[in-house]
């Protein structure tokens, strides 16, 4: 049972890196205003983006919260500025590039036969970069690619019943390198064009896959020590964990624990509804925007034709999507015209 501490630590590192890169898509925040407008009530068609168009978002909070009777996991992420720039318009998709920093905190709590396990992780100024692939006809997200190189994660082994450790060994820092690709069979969008007040539309079903690799000197050292211990018949890692090291293949890891690296987003009828147009003020400016209710009022987003995209979104989707507790994002700057 002593290996459970190592398994828990490796699992939290894996979950942290996956969640850290899986939440960089543009979403937004605030409560809808009661002021309405009839401007553009006849509807608008999908915008056209050009190379060098940019949008910058502030992400105040993305919270991921998963709990059941056996385990509790929490991850909170904030991004002060997420700049997106159109770098390619060839074919059926736009390619947008980004480079930014991210702060976050994660926590894992569970209880095993020997006692409670509590591990936390923090990261500050995590430097990430990547690209988004957006479908031209829907502004739907087709693919996200994210990577970071030798970024520092700090783990606090606050409580564990397996191995007595001196206080100075409760804090472990590891530099992690990763690249992750999230690809959808069908582009995921909350918009429907032409966009007209008074209409509702469905969330289209799709499958998305996760692929990539996670590397760290910590994993390499762990693998080396386990190999040495195995020579003396003292292996301390379960075979399935050892098989993933020293470079964790996300496809292999997810397939091992969940049976697949492909996950389904189901179709939901009337998931989105646009009741009216209203004047919305965000740091990037004041816009006439289409108010869109998400998933029967669990969240709201605002699409502004003058900005060429969503300018604000907020919501707590935990009732429908158990992992996603909060999303809060707003447009701070754009060069689109």
CA–CA dist 132, 148 (Å, integer): 15
HSE, side-chain direction, 13 A CA sphere, residue 91: 8
Lowest mean pLDDT among 18-22, 139-143, 159-163: 18-22
Q: Is the pLDDT of residue 13 over 50?
A: no
The residue behind tokens 């994993």 is 219
> In this structure, are residues 284 and 331 in contact, taking their beta carbons and an 8 Å threshold?
yes
Q: Tell the residue number behind the tokens 């992992």, with chain if given.
A: 323
Q: What single DSSP character describes residue 37?
A: B
What's the token pair of residue 10? Answer: 């490796």
**137 three-state secondary structure:** coil
d(CA 46, CA 188): 15
Distance, C-alpha 42 to centroid of its chain: 35
266 vs 196: CA distance, rounded Å: 25
Rounded distance, CA 282 to CA 309, Å? Answer: 13
For the stretch 287-313, pLDDT in tens is 999 999 998 888 899 999 999 999 998
Max CA distance (Å), the chain: 77
pLDDT digits (tens, 9 = 90+) for 38-66: 344 567 999 999 999 999 999 877 777 77
DSSP structure string for 185-207: EEEE-S--SSB-TTEEEEEPPEE
Q: Which residues pair with 212 in a beta bridge?
A: 180
Nearest in space to 193 (alpha carbons), one of 92, 299, 47: 47
Return all residues near 230 (Cβ < 8 A) that are at least 6 apart. none
pLDDT in tens, 306-316: 999 999 988 87
Per mean pLDDT, which of 69-73, 91-95, 153-157 is the most reliable? 91-95
What tokens does 333 get? 């700057």
Least confident of 15-19, 169-173, 330-334: 15-19
DSSP 320-334: TSTTEEEEEEEEEEE
Q: How far is CA 11 from CA 24, 201, 231, 283, in A?
A: 22, 38, 25, 39
Task: State the average pLDDT over residues 318-332.
Answer: 72
For residue 167, CA distances in Å to 130, 172, 224 come to 38, 11, 25
């Amino acid at each position: 049972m002593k290996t459970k501490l190592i398994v828990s630590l490796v699992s939290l590192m894996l979950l942290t890196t996956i969640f850290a890169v899986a939440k960089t898509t543009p979403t937004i925040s605030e409560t809808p205003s009661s002021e309405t407008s009839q401007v553009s009530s006849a509807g608008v068609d999908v915008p056209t983006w050009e190379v060098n168009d940019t949008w910058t978002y502030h992400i105040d909070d993305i919270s991921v919260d998963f709990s059941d009777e056996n385990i509790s996991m929490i991850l909170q992420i904030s991004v002060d500025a997420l700049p997106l720039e159109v770098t390619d318009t060839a074919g059926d998709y736009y390619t947008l590039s980004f480079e930014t920093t991210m702060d976050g905190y994660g926590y894992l709590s569970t209880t095993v036969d020997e006692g409670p396990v509590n591990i936390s992780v923090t990261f500050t100024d995590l430097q990430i970069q990547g690209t988004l692939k957006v479908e031209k006809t829907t502004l739907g997200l087709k693919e996200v690619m994210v990577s970071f190189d030798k970024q520092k994660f700090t783990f606090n082994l606050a409580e564990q019943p397996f191995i007595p450790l001196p206080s100075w060994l409760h804090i472990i820092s590891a530099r992690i390198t990763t690249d992750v690709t999230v690809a959808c069979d069908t582009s995921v969008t909350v918009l429907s064009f032409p966009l007209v007040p008074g209409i509702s539309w469905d969330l289209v079903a799709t499958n998305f896959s996760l692929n990539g690799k996670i590397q760290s000197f910590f994993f390499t050292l762990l693998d080396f020590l386990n190999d040495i211990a195995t020579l003396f018949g003292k292996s301390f890692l379960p075979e399935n964990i050892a098989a993933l090291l020293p470079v964790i293949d996300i496809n292999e890891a997810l397939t091992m624990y969940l049976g697949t690296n492909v996950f389904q987003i189901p179709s939901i009828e009337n998931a989105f509804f646009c009741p009216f147009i209203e004047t919305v003020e965000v740091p990037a400016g004041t816009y006439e925007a289409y108010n869109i209710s998400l998933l029967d009022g669990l969240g709201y987003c605002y699409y502004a034709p003058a900005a060429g995209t969503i300018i604000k979104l907020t919501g707590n989707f935990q009732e429908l999507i158990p992992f996603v507790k909060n999303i809060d994002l707003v447009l701070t700057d754009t060069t689109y015209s």
